[in-house]
Amino acid sequence: MKIGQAGWVLGCGFLGFVAVGCGSSDSTPSTGPKMGAATPDCGTVQEPLELTLKNVEPALGSSLPNANIVQSFTIAGKQLKIELALARPASHTAGEPVPATITWSYGVSGSDTVYTSQPISWSKAGHVELDPAGLLETADHCVWVMPTPVFSYDVTP
């Protein structure tokens, strides 16, 4: 799975996630995200459920050399295939990713889903901060949100 052109995807303030995954079923066909009140296993636009991330690497607040950085995280307790879109807030000072298009792989581990990027670097040393660019909608139209930030670390020359 790929992030689109970094300048476009990462530079936008609000983009949506699209996901395919498991969740509650609904006997009435729907063509858009669920609305109204959330249930324990299915969020809505008004009440998205927050995904729990674990094993985020590089660790939040860490500092590392700006070369061969592998970003990864685990979605705890959910098996979701997502098209990952991340935004760079004003606190991001490390420039563009190299390569510009970041490829992500994913795999299921028990009830979790693990996402891992190809090795990357950033166009300059500085602070990396990547936030979710919007809401996630699963194939069953449940709505989720990722915690903010997803990644926050410093890169050195």
Q: pLDDT tens string for the chain (157 positions)?
A: 433 333 333 333 333 334 444 444 444 455 788 888 888 888 999 999 999 999 999 999 999 999 999 999 999 999 988 878 899 999 999 999 999 988 999 999 999 999 999 999 999 999 999 999 999 888 888 899 999 999 999 999 9
Range of the domain at 76: 6-136
Name the H helices within the chain.
6-9
Q: Tell whether 146 is covered by a domain.
A: no
Nearest to 95, CA basis, from 67, 129, 133: 129
Q: Tell whether 153 is covered by a domain.
A: no
The count of C-alpha atoms lying within 13 angstroms of the C-alpha of 69, restricted to the half-sphere facing its C-beta, is 29
Amino acid at 145: V
Domain count, the chain: 1
